[in-house]
A = this chain, B = another copy of it.
């Protein structure tokens, strides 16, 4: 066992560190090369002190020299760098990209939001979406969804897939600060973020918007718009996505509940909570579980669906490992914690 040899490119960042944390608990994976850019040559122990088993590992420069010869390569690189690295890895190597490069189908949307030419589209690593799991089986290239699109798509796709919701979604999501990465910027200092709820990218500017539009439109079978406001919350991890859309005429609370029960039946990592219990980010810290709840606001005529995930786990590295398991034909839950670290 432990027959799968995995490399991680970008091992000093938050996404790379979380991939490593999960792989350390995966019974079939052996961790191979770790790479970095500015941190190449450094020991991992000083960069990721929560991973004591790997403390003495030294980061190699990101590139084919380090990454070749593995069964799986996880890319946790800045946007725009994945295509070049992936191109040098063989077609038989499973490449799991935690970046944005291969998520979008619409090249124009990519270019508008990212300002560079579109690299392509890979099978999408959110297996709970209709048809997504099948597309992942045997795949050799996987685009891991963004953290916000993971939370928002899980909250709203059942309503759209069942034809219950109007085509204009409104989403306000709160994210822990790790979603902004490890680069030192003044507005991300602890002194600034503790005690602070602060919006950013308001008015449609966030790069995750077209990915939500893509997922919800696919579920609805018609174009869906998303008014998306992300906010930074004073916590290291977690996303709470509060999502709503007009209920189509005649939609009942029972119909809404039934659609969500059907959508999540049998899903190991996406759970509809019992009626009356609402999800909290605290319940999913460190876990690959998404908790979802939904209600019909009769006075306002809206379906309100809320999801909680760990942005680094289910929202990034957990989704990546879950997709890897599916691609490789392993049990989907293997090595992935469904329990959160609480309180």
A residues near B (Cβ < 8 Å) are 14, 17, 21, 24-25, 45-46, 48-53, 55, 168, 170, 172, 174, 176-178, 180, 182-186, 188-200, 202-204, 209, 225-229, 231, 233-238, 240, 242, 244, 246, 271, 273-274, 277-287, 289, 291, 293, 295-302, 304, 306, 308, 337-343
Contact A178 B343 (CB under 8 A): yes
The residue that A304 contacts in the complex, of B209, B225, B229, with Cβ under 8 A, is B229
Beyond the given pairs A182-B186, A190-B192, A198-B281, 13 more chain A to chain B contacts, judged by CB atoms under 8 angstroms and listed by A's residue number, are: A49-B273, A50-B287, A51-B340, A53-B338, A176-B191, A177-B189, A177-B194, A196-B238, A196-B282, A202-B297, A204-B298, A204-B300, A233-B233
Contact B300 A197 (CB under 8 A): no
Contact A174 B197 (CB under 8 A): yes
A196 / chain B contacts, CB cutoff of 8 Å: 235, 238, 280-282
A285 / chain B contacts, CB cutoff of 8 Å: 50, 195, 286, 341
Question: Are A338 and B204 also in contact (CB < 8 A) when A227-B244, A227-B300 are?
Answer: no
The residue that A188 contacts in the complex, of B46, B189, B228, with Cβ under 8 A, is B189
Cα separation A278 to B200 with both chains bound (whole Å): 7
Query: Chain B nearest CB: distance from A324 CB in Å?
Result: 18
Contact B52 A225 (CB under 8 A): no
A14 / chain B contacts, CB cutoff of 8 Å: 191, 343
Query: Which residue in chain B gives the minimum CB-CB distance to A278?
Result: B199
Contact B231 A242 (CB under 8 A): yes
Question: Are A49 and B226 also in contact (CB < 8 A) when A195-B236, A195-B237 are?
Answer: no
Number of identical protomers: 4
Contact B202 A191 (CB under 8 A): no
A298 / chain B contacts, CB cutoff of 8 Å: 203-204
Cα separation A25 to B225 with both chains bound (whole Å): 41
Question: Are A191 and B236 also in contact (CB < 8 A) when A51-B339, A242-B199, A338-B53 are?
Answer: yes
Q: What are 19 inter-chain pairs, A to B, with CB distance below 8 A?
A: A46-B277, A49-B291, A50-B341, A168-B300, A184-B185, A184-B188, A190-B193, A190-B236, A191-B236, A192-B282, A195-B282, A197-B280, A200-B278, A203-B295, A203-B304, A204-B298, A209-B299, A225-B300, A227-B244
Cα separation A198 to B235 with both chains bound (whole Å): 12
Cα separation A14 to B189 with both chains bound (whole Å): 12
Question: Are A49 and B283 also in contact (CB < 8 A) when A227-B297, A229-B304, A341-B341 are?
Answer: yes
Contact A236 B343 (CB under 8 A): yes
